[in-house]
Structure 1
Amino acid sequence: MGDYEALLEQYKRISYLRDANQVLSWDQEVMMPEGGTPARAKQRSAISATSHDLLTSEEFESALDAAEAEDLDAEQAAVVREIRREFDRAAKVPSDLVERISEETSNALPVWKEAKAESDWETFAPKVETLLELKREYANHIDPDADPYAVLFADYEPYLPLETAEAVLEELRDALVPLIEELKASDAALAAPFDGEFPEANQMALSKATLDYLGYPEEHGRIDVAPHPFSTGTQFDARVTTRFKEDDPVDAIGSTIHEFGHATYTLGLPKEAYGTPLGQHRGLTVHESQSRLWENHVGRSKAFWNGYLPLVAEHLDTGDMTPREAYEAANQLYPENRIRVEADELTYHMHIILRFEIERDLIAGDLAVEDVPEAWNAKMEEYLGVTPDSDAEGCLQDIHWAHGSFGYFPTYSLGSVLAAQLYAAASEEIENLEGKIENGEFDALHAWLTEEVHSHGTRYTTDELIEHATGESFTAKHFIDYAEAKFGDLYGL
């Protein structure tokens, strides 16, 4: 066995442990009884510490050094590049800190659920304070001279600098704020959302049918309910979750399609590379681009609803709703909406900007944890003109801080921007893509995304992958053009 192969064998053991930890996390959020938290926290922290110890061991470092000295081809060099980056960051972080972070996030999850149910930030605040301290310590170990938020952001998007995220958010804000104001001032009357009560059982049946309609392989996944929808898994087992509001089935439809986008990326990763960097996703900007592409460019398109509405009518009482009315209902602007995951396609980015700014201030120590509700409400009023009625629909609505995922939120907007860029490229290369979507034919789009994005794993850096797939560098132009054209048509601008 050569040095490169020996390195991969060691790395695969680490990957398998992490995947096992993912399953434990999925179980905790979906199926585990609440009383299981103390044991689950210990189990997950032990796995995190063990995988960290393996990654940072002298044996692993020696194998990595030896592999780097070999004459490697392009794919092998990319694998070693990714492993080296991962090792260099992990080696700087003590294993006991990794274990503490894992245990604290497991313990924080039920506290967040309780705090959200009681709409009481004070219940959750001590956990946030603890996780902030741990994540600052983590960032300081990796690079004591860097902006700690930039270090944390790089855990989710390793190859686009934080300055790029800031520039994109600023460009979106400058373009979308006046557009939203113009749309709000329009006298256009879009069709109202679905009217009535739609039982959860019917919506679950529709969600399963929707996944089948889009091409989700039942033998490689499953759908469950979670308070905050998510997707997780491997190219052999990519699971999705959704949630239901009995008076708004569009919410479940959107979250189901969104999580399908994540899952189809995971399932598109090369199976033969499982356990290696080439079998892993490129980062959360790319991952989010897949969910936003399917949710918005497909699932909120006129063509989609022309073909999809009959399937909805099989499971829900849609009355005499027309495809055009369903399309309008799926694209209503809700600037007064306080909930990010229920936000429309445009005001969604104001929610991201708000969270990004609060996170930066929290990590920097410029905002006290106890003052988060006040800061949150003030920014909601500034950016969206509304104030949450409670902490549950304000600063407690997202699960990310219970996971210690500080630095995650910018990837949502970066992913939306990339989704528009990828969809524009796909439209150029796939003949009559809109017609195929209208006919419920998604194989061509699946194949294009797999060929251009999924199948490469981490072979390319983010900017290289974007250039490969679209022929141009990362740009917000396509998203802004798409938003202005789509909503200008809807609202008769």
Structure 2
Amino acid sequence: MASTDNTQHSPEAYASLLERARKLGNVRMASMVLAWDQRVMMPEGGTPARAQQLSTLSSLGHDLLVDDEVGEWLQSLEDESLTEEQAAVVRELRREYERAAEVPAELIEQLSAHQVESQQVWQEAKAADDFDHFAPALEQLIDLNRERAAAIDPGGDHYRVLYEDSQPYLPLERVEEIFAELREHLVALIEEIREDGRELPSPFSGHSYDEESQRALSEDALDLLGYPREHGRLDTAPHPFMSGNQFDARITTRFKEDDPIDALTATIHEFGHATYQLGLPKDEYGTPLGSPRSSGVHESQSRFWENHVGRSRAFWELFLPTMKAHFPHLEDVTVEEAYAAVNRIYPENLIRVEADELTYHLHIILRCEIDRAFVEGELEVSEIPRVWNEKMEAYLGVTPETDAEGCLQDTHWSYSFAKFQGYTVGSVLAAQLDAAMREDLDVDGLVRDGEFEPLWEWMTDHVHRHGQRYPTEELIEVATGEPLTADYFLEYVDEKFGELYEL
């Protein structure tokens, strides 16, 4: 793909616009590093200063984007003849400009500062199991987000505006259609498994796993998968995440003393996110062509590596000896036992990030339903714990005993809304990409042999290298040959769990 740096035949306005995009990208990357530090290394008392720092950078980025010159450059380019890559850059920057230009800079500063403060309050509330401690911050955050949504689209649907922040060019209606398919299909499949009554015991249960050995296991997994240490690092965080760009993609995980699979799968999941960042064109850093497409596409990469690779039988044929080397008491565990253990379902689980591959999506669906009702003013802050518990009982048959295990478990509402769809969109797209990849590669054979580079290269060729060249729906068709569909995901789970549970 041609580099956007090749502007010798481009309009002067385009060259100026591209330079501004790179400056804006650098401001955002600086904010990302500060946010990473806050969640990983910053002392608790640093919050007041960090809030001011990120607020200033957010305001600076906003000013760079909505400057009158940007509007003039975009207007002058409307009738210019541009290459496909240049037209994509202009499309993406015009979309950002038009959404941001209506939002007052003061509101951006307020929102950014409050997000930082809210994350600290959320951490305190979760640790103390005290939703009332978080409620005022959440109330203020929703008011600021509604104000921003109203500025972008006066009289419009606040929830749709916020949804389009992270899922541009993928209609909310299409996502809700997919969610309806999944809700009907997965509830029935989970109920069938429950009625059958077959249990898949875990040979990993009933033991203690020290953090040092678990970390070494995660490091070995990253080395095996090909994570380039000169471009990343592994740390711990209360809520695992990845942060970075094509030069610096950092991973976090967390360790549970009684469950080594939790940290391992979280590490592989975040590695998947890192592959996307590291696979973006390096010479397009700071421009839309060097940026990921959407949260749903990003999640497809982490879900592919976590579920279609890390939970595969082929992976455990390869990796089980490494696990036994770190934990000798697992010496007698077989590949089939390990494979079954990492894929068993446990609907009684309360925590989304610890959920199995099937029930996970019911966790997402209930969050989206609560999220939308809250944003649209149909649900008061004080009602969230009750509604959360009711939906957990309805969808999963369990009720949290504490808010820390319920509506306080996720960090998302401390900084944003209308973002949860990306997790399930990612799983659906991961299955579709996996099916397309298998037309070209012997995926299981490569995994069994520890040859992961061809998988990463395939994803880079079909997804990563395009950056934001294509709108979301078009990128999915370019990568897989067809529009987004839930068919491949439903076929995948039917085959996988039908075999495991002998349905």
TM-score by length of 1: 0.98
What is the CA distance between 1:69 and its match in structure 2?
Answer: 3.8
Question: Pairwise mapping of residues 128-277 of structure 1 onto structure 2 (< 5 A)?
Answer: 128-195=138-205, 196-277=207-288
Q: Percent identity?
A: 57
Question: Among 72, 77, 93, which residue is 1:67 paired with?
Answer: 77
The one-character-per-residue Cα deviations of 1:290-348 (angstroms, maximum 9, x if unpaired) are 00111101111111111111121222232311111111110110100000000000000
- Paired residue secondary structure (1:429): coil
Question: Among 402, 419, 423, which residue is 1:390 paired with?
Answer: 402
Question: Among 337, 340, 348, which residue is 1:325 paired with?
Answer: 337
What is the CA distance between 1:439 and its match in structure 2?
Answer: 1.4
Larger mean Cα displacement after TM superposition, 375-384 or 138-147: 138-147
| Residue of structure 2 in register with 1:402 after alignment | 414
What is the CA distance between 1:27 and its match in structure 2?
Answer: 0.2
| C-alpha distance in 1 between matches for 2:119 and 2:261 | 27
Structure 1: segments with no counterpart, 5+ residues: none
Question: Among 377, 385, 389, which residue is 2:389 paired with?
Answer: 377
Cα pair 1:8 1:276 within 8 Å, conserved: yes
| C-alpha distance in 2 between matches for 1:475 and 1:112 | 36
2:94 is equivalent to residue 84 of structure 1: yes
| Residue of structure 1 in register with 2:471 after alignment | 461
Aligned residues: 491
- Paired residue secondary structure (2:433): helix
What is the CA distance between 1:188 and its match in structure 2?
Answer: 2.8
| C-alpha distance in 2 between matches for 1:234 and 1:38 | 27
| Residue of structure 2 in register with 1:46 after alignment | 56
Name the aligned partner's letter for residue 139 of structure 1.
A
| Residue of structure 2 in register with 1:335 after alignment | 347
What is the CA distance between 1:280 and its match in structure 2?
Answer: 0.1
Question: Among 272, 288, 293, which residue is 2:304 paired with?
Answer: 293
What is the CA distance between 1:37 and its match in structure 2?
Answer: 0.3
| C-alpha distance in 2 between matches for 1:42 and 1:186 | 56
Cα pair 1:362 1:369 within 8 Å, conserved: yes
Cα pair 1:242 1:252 within 8 Å, conserved: yes
| Residue of structure 1 in register with 2:485 after alignment | 475
What is the CA distance between 1:99 and its match in structure 2?
Answer: 0.6
Cα pair 1:4 1:70 within 8 Å, conserved: no
The one-character-per-residue Cα deviations of 1:386-424 (angstroms, maximum 9, x if unpaired) are 000100000000000112x20100111111100000000
Cα pair 2:252 2:270 within 8 Å, conserved: yes
Name the aligned partner's letter for residue 393 of structure 2.
E
Cα pair 1:203 1:316 within 8 Å, conserved: no
| C-alpha distance in 2 between matches for 1:321 and 1:74 | 54
| C-alpha distance in 2 between matches for 1:77 and 1:277 | 11
| Residue of structure 1 in register with 2:368 after alignment | 356
The one-character-per-residue Cα deviations of 1:409-455 (angstroms, maximum 9, x if unpaired) are 0111111100000000001111x211111111111111100000000
Cα pair 1:193 1:330 within 8 Å, conserved: no
| C-alpha distance in 2 between matches for 1:144 and 1:161 | 19
| C-alpha distance in 2 between matches for 1:67 and 1:218 | 41
- Paired residue secondary structure (1:232): strand
What is the CA distance between 1:193 and its match in structure 2?
Answer: 4.6
- RMSD, matched Cα: 1.0
What is the CA distance between 1:65 and its match in structure 2?
Answer: 2.2
Cα pair 1:298 1:304 within 8 Å, conserved: yes
The one-character-per-residue Cα deviations of 1:24-46 (angstroms, maximum 9, x if unpaired) are 00000000000000000000000
Name the aligned partner's letter for residue 151 of structure 2.
H
| C-alpha distance in 2 between matches for 1:137 and 1:193 | 51
Cα pair 1:68 1:80 within 8 Å, conserved: no
Structure 2: segments with no counterpart, 5+ residues: 1-7
Cα pair 1:12 1:276 within 8 Å, conserved: yes
- Paired residue secondary structure (2:439): helix
Name the aligned partner's letter for residue 298 of structure 1.
V
| C-alpha distance in 1 between matches for 2:420 and 2:252 | 19
Cα pair 1:7 1:67 within 8 Å, conserved: no
| Residue of structure 1 in register with 2:3 after alignment | none
The one-character-per-residue Cα deviations of 1:249-268 (angstroms, maximum 9, x if unpaired) are 00001110110000110000
| C-alpha distance in 2 between matches for 1:68 and 1:253 | 49
| C-alpha distance in 2 between matches for 1:66 and 1:21 | 31
- Paired residue secondary structure (2:250): strand
Cα pair 1:257 1:295 within 8 Å, conserved: yes
| Residue of structure 1 in register with 2:428 after alignment | 417
Name the aligned partner's letter for residue 151 of structure 1.
V
| C-alpha distance in 2 between matches for 1:414 and 1:351 | 14
